Amino acid sequence: MKTKISVVLLIFLVLFSFVCIEKKIFYENLYPRKYSEYVSKYSKEFNIDENLVYSVIKAESKFIEDAVSHKGAKGLMQISDITRDWAIEELNLGEIDIFNPETNIKIGCWYLNKLFKEFGDLNLVIAAYNGGSGNVRKWLGDKAYSEDGKSLDIIPFEETSNYLKKVTKNYENYNEIYKREEKD
């Protein structure tokens, strides 16, 4: 009888381990860390959480290097031409290929850093990355969207509101999947 219980317990443990491993692999495929050498390098250089960068890339391009939005934003982090030109000037980049993953991630991290310096709040940074910093400043100054002038109660652009939810959810999931293994 003890042998049967031991065998059943062993089978249960093996199956449970398999399910846990498969679940981890499943989630890591759903929330990949592609281009990690560039994300790591530029998130450190510009003091941005790596998981936030992955969350933005997943929301913006689903890790497709040559993605172009309906508004003309380009690459992994969907850099607009205006932001590209600003970064070229500020970072002294010269001639660049915005679809190059390293260049795109560098500019995206630089821009996220600029937004953090301006707003200092993750939700405002994410909203500004999508909806524009000028719009976020305008919304913060309007009692219809911000009662305290420091956070947004309502985001009037549905696309930006949905984007904030998507990136926030990605960020929560990246932190859940990858922060745990970093602590081990």
Angle of helix 50-61 versus helix 122-131 axis, rounded to 10:
30
Report the distance separating Cα 34 and Cα 39, nearest Å: 8
**Smallest Cα–Cα separation from 116: which of 126, 107, 131, 102?**
126
Amino acid residing at 99: F
Just list the catalytic residues.
Answer: 60
Strand partners of residue 68: 74
Alpha-helix runs per DSSP H in 31-100: 36-45, 50-61, 81-91
Backbone angles phi, psi at 83, to 5 degrees: -65, -40
Residue 118 token pair = 């301006």
Q: Locate the DSSP E strands across 33-174.
A: none
